Structure 1
Amino acid sequence: MAESLGTPQGTRAPTALVTGGAGGIGRAVCAALAEAGAEVIVCDLDEHRAREVARTLPAGRAVGIDLGDRSRVEAGVARIRGIAPHVDVLVHNAGIGVLGPFAESDPADWDLMWRVNTRAPMLLTRAFLPGMIARGRGRLVFVSSDGARAGAGGEGAYAATKSALFGLAKTLARETARYGVTSNVVCPGPTDTPMLREVGARHPGLVAELTRRIPAGRLGTPADVAAAVAFLASPSAAYITGQTLSVSGGITMQ
């Protein structure tokens, strides 16, 4: 049973907003936060899948947002405010990766990854952070990547956009700690998701080699990542801010 997220101001269940909520890790994060008592807003480019996830939650709602388009992000914020005036937990889980040797990469792909992986979290945080500060409580959790933290072949542009979240999260931690808001980063290592399976199908033996290198002897699961996110969103993590946590079975140690 996940730790309760509490009831801010003693009057309502906390509201959690999860981007990329219909994906493998995102779905698990939504479930973990719901188990902890949050009303969860599932945000995803695929609104149909977001609604499917929301229906599995005790108090779930869905909003479709194209994080790569600023005007659509702003429209999505307006929709969210219409169904949930307050956001207490903001989980930036969405991300897009176009992988391959950097020397062969396309700057158009860099731009797309920057818009989704970096600018969108900035826009959403700017939209909902003032309310957290005013209420004296809030949780920001940025889902980056161990590839961004330690480097990984074929992930140059992706890692650049995801590593930007480290600087953003730490700056926000310094600016908002006095207001009861925490800001942390979770970095998944190799995780058993549909995306990894697709990559594995294109590169036979890759997943087995990754698994061999992990001290824990297995791939991570979406639930492993979700547990870390839910902890950082909980009252027990109130004194933890500006930190980066790898969920990698020990393949990354820093």
Structure 2
Amino acid sequence: MRGLNLDGRTAVVTGGAGAIGAAICGDLASLGARVVVADIDEPAAARIAASLDGAAHLAVDLADPASIEAFCAWTGPVDILVHNAGVSIVEPFVTSDPENWDLMWRVNLRAPMLLTKLLLPGMVERGWGRLVFISSDGARAGSGGEGAYAATKAGLFGLAKTLAREAARGSVTSNVVCPGPTDTPMLRRVDAEKPGLVDKIARGIPLRRLGTPEDVAGLVAYLCTDRAAYVTGQVLSVSGGVTMH
């Protein structure tokens, strides 16, 4: 189909070794992009990169500005930047640890800001680019025990919309994707601690199932193509109908 080819484009996916990140890497690579799998877990990133044609990998500590700067110097020009990495620490807000707030702020919000600041100018100069921020439906609707996490992920909304305005004349789009309940190893670990929780969640979803990493990756891949060249500044949920706007 015309406009769905990413040949010649370089795509960076942070958190690329996780379940959703790996699915995003796979879809972008299948469309022809040269994918850079960025993750603090270098062995896992290497495994994902080895499974994709022409992919590369590099460890990056998103909590460390020096590591981010070194990463951007290594990648060279980047056309597609998918901010997928995130840290979630679940605890009631009134008893939460401000040190955990700081970690989530550094990884979930400051890191996307720093990465974009370093890589966006090249996109604008070349006249083409895609920014995709992976947030959370918890940031749109709130989520018990995730006050600080939701706050940092909600910050991506304002950042992405501002960048959509500032970078539009360089033909760079900027959008946010918010996964709803998604079947990942992290969710399964929670279910192991609280048996039946996943089934209960699934019953409350209009489509009566959890999302899959591939459900999220499909929307991200579309937003990175020329078919989505007129879509910018949007916050889109992939939630099976849990969140409707």
Please show how residues 201-216 of structure 1 align to structure 2 within 5 Å.
201-216=192-207
- Whether 2:142 is the aligned partner of 1:142: answer no
1:102·1:155 contact (CA, 8 Å) conserved in 2?
yes
2:39·2:58 contact (CA, 8 Å) conserved in 1?
yes
Aligned counterparts of 1:208 and 1:68: Cα–Cα separation in 2 = 34
Of 18, 32, 35 in structure 1, the residue corresponding to residue 30 of structure 2 is 35
The answer for the alignment partner of 1:68 in structure 2 is: 63
TM-score, normalising length: structure 2: 0.97
- Whether 2:8 is the aligned partner of 1:17: answer no
- Whether 2:226 is the aligned partner of 1:235: answer yes
Q: Secondary structure at the match of 1:217?
A: coil
The answer for the alignment partner of 1:5 in structure 2 is: 5
Aligned counterparts of 1:200 and 1:160: Cα–Cα separation in 2 = 24
Aligned counterparts of 2:92 and 2:85: Cα–Cα separation in 1 = 23
Gaps of 5+ in 1: 8-12
Please show how residues 105-124 of structure 1 align to structure 2 within 5 Å.
105-124=96-115
* Cα distance change, pair 131–192 in 1 and its aligned pair in 2 (3 A): same
Query: Cα offset for 1:75?
Result: 1.6
Of 53, 58, 73 in structure 2, the residue corresponding to residue 58 of structure 1 is 53
* Cα distance change, pair 119–2 in 1 and its aligned pair in 2 (3 A): farther
Aligned counterparts of 2:167 and 2:192: Cα–Cα separation in 1 = 44
Q: Deviations over 1:221-249 (max 9, x none)?
A: 00000000000001010000000110000
Q: Deviations over 1:193-252 (max 9, x none)?
A: 011111112222221111011001100000000000000001010000000110000011
1:5·1:14 contact (CA, 8 Å) conserved in 2?
no
The count of aligned residue pairs is: 245
Query: Cα offset for 1:178?
Result: 1.5
Query: Cα offset for 1:2?
Result: 11
- Whether 2:239 is the aligned partner of 1:248: answer yes
Query: Cα offset for 1:175?
Result: 0.6
Aligned counterparts of 1:122 and 1:218: Cα–Cα separation in 2 = 34
Gaps of 5+ in 2: none
2:6·2:28 contact (CA, 8 Å) conserved in 1?
no
* Cα distance change, pair 2–115 in 1 and its aligned pair in 2 (3 A): farther
2:41·2:59 contact (CA, 8 Å) conserved in 1?
yes
| AA of the residue aligned to 2:4 | S
Aligned counterparts of 1:73 and 1:23: Cα–Cα separation in 2 = 19
The answer for the alignment partner of 1:217 in structure 2 is: 208
Aligned counterparts of 1:30 and 1:59: Cα–Cα separation in 2 = 11
Of 65, 75, 78 in structure 2, the residue corresponding to residue 80 of structure 1 is 75
Structure 1 vs Structure 2 CA RMSD: 1.3
1:2·1:32 contact (CA, 8 Å) conserved in 2?
no
Of 125, 149, 156 in structure 1, the residue corresponding to residue 116 of structure 2 is 125
